[in-house]
Structure 1
């Protein structure tokens, strides 16, 4: 496959060849993709999926790449990044959002429309599609609580709508992880609220996030899922691991549940540090830490 051939099929599509994915991930790590495509419409997404299938090429779909580690060898085939699909519409008590829009922006759109239910998401930087994929949540809220339906594109090119029940949400999980459909649009069902109360809650959660999370450094967000009966950060602290440096990566001094890029870290630094944490905690506490962050791509 050549970029020239791709452009011949999709002359209006934004395409980049041999593009470092470190430019897009929140960790600022990750090797190159053969081709990165930035569709702006559902039709473009459908066309790319159809062409990639016809050419028997690998396809990887990304949103905001905030809770993601791309390995240093990068990704072969076509990477489709959906951040150009970011329209947000209000319809009475519903918000209809394209999958590339940020969850943060959606929560503020809800506030401006005097709709309550998304305040918990005011600090989550991921895309709407990514939020559905992993049932993103914070501060006792999850997107599964306010999603009415999700429009998806199957890898066979069929567009269909799944209701909340069909998505089989659970902690940091949705059925999308198994079926690999591409999220195109999400409908949130919210409630009428009071602007002052919504803003007060959002300000409170923003303060908590800024005071407890290492936002001053690149990171992949919360690294591990919360093990039943434990707090991950506390386990890591009590194991004496907080502040540990591995290559250019460090277990955050501000919040031990985060790994930050302090000195040109590689994806390998992140992955090896994650594995080290898992080994230490399993041996010390008998607790198996499961990554919340998604790790994809090829080794260098």
Structure 2
């Protein structure tokens, strides 16, 4: 089956305006890196999303979920098959202390909306750049809070396109892991349980966390955020800093001088530059401290 045939078939499912062939993924990733997707699809409803997943499975076409692109590095050769993006599934609904959000809603937008309703428990997410779908998959967290503290249930699609409702216990949430990532599920929506709070206290906490983030993280450059998981009993940034790697890198990629846990696209880096910089950091830290840094970011696509 040809690329053109995929596009024709998908146009029976999704508005043709939301289907693009040979689409550069640089504009969809926070690193501003990556080659082209054979087909890039943005469904507008959960039914369309389900139909696209079923189509890919039935026709044995590789399918990659790309959320807000904040935790993903796409190689320069791009991605074969279909890349699906749920950015148009971005509904947020608040009912008392219960919050429903679709996969494509930005987690920091949810944090902003619930804070405006004097709900507490989601302040930790005020600066996380990802989508709800990505946050669910990796149990996103920051500043002492994480998704597993507030999640009630989530609705997902299996790789076959089957719809499942998973409770908190079903999700197997741990440090940067979940059953969603393990089984390759696609998140459609999530429901959270928050608490009524004091507006002044909520605003003060968000202001403090925002200051901490902006003062310590290199937000002025494209990056994938925190590249490495926290090693047991230590901090990746600390080990990288003590390895004297800040300011060093390959090509246009560089270990941030502001925060050693970040690798930035400082000067028109390629994905190859970025990945080689990651590998250099892993190699040096392993040699110096005998610690193998594990990736928090996901590397996808072809060279």
TM-score, normalization by structure 2: 0.96
Structural mapping, 1:138-177, within 5 Å:
138-177=142-181
| 1:159-192 per-position Cα deviation (integer Å, ceiling 9, x unaligned) | 1210001000000000111211110000010001
Check 1:145–1:8 CA distance in 2 against 1; reply closer, same or farther (3 A cut).
closer
**Deviates further, 234-243 or 8-17:** 8-17
Q: Which residue of 2 aligns with 1:294?
A: 298
Q: Structure 2 CA distance, aligned partners of 1:205 and 1:37? A: 35
Q: Which residue of 1 aligns with 2:95?
A: 91
Q: Structure 2 CA distance, aligned partners of 1:59 and 1:213? A: 32
| 1:94-151 per-position Cα deviation (integer Å, ceiling 9, x unaligned) | 1100000000000011101111000010000100000010110000111111000001
Q: Structure 2 CA distance, aligned partners of 1:235 and 1:59? A: 36
Q: Structure 2 CA distance, aligned partners of 1:190 and 1:30? A: 37
Q: Which residue of 1 aligns with 2:114?
A: 110
Deviating runs (4+, > 3 A) in structure 1? none
Q: Structure 2 CA distance, aligned partners of 1:196 and 1:187? A: 25
Q: CA deviation at 1:155?
A: 2.1
The DSSP-based 3-state class of the residue aligned with 1:90 is strand
TM-score, normalization by structure 1: 0.97
RMSD value over aligned CA atoms?
1.1
Q: Structure 2 CA distance, aligned partners of 1:41 and 1:274? A: 37
* Structure 1 residue ranges without an equivalent (≥5): none
* Structure 2 residue ranges without an equivalent (≥5): none
1:50 aligns with 2:54: yes
Q: Which residue of 1 aligns with 2:240?
A: 236
Q: Which residue of 1 aligns with 2:211?
A: 207
1:188 aligns with 2:192: yes
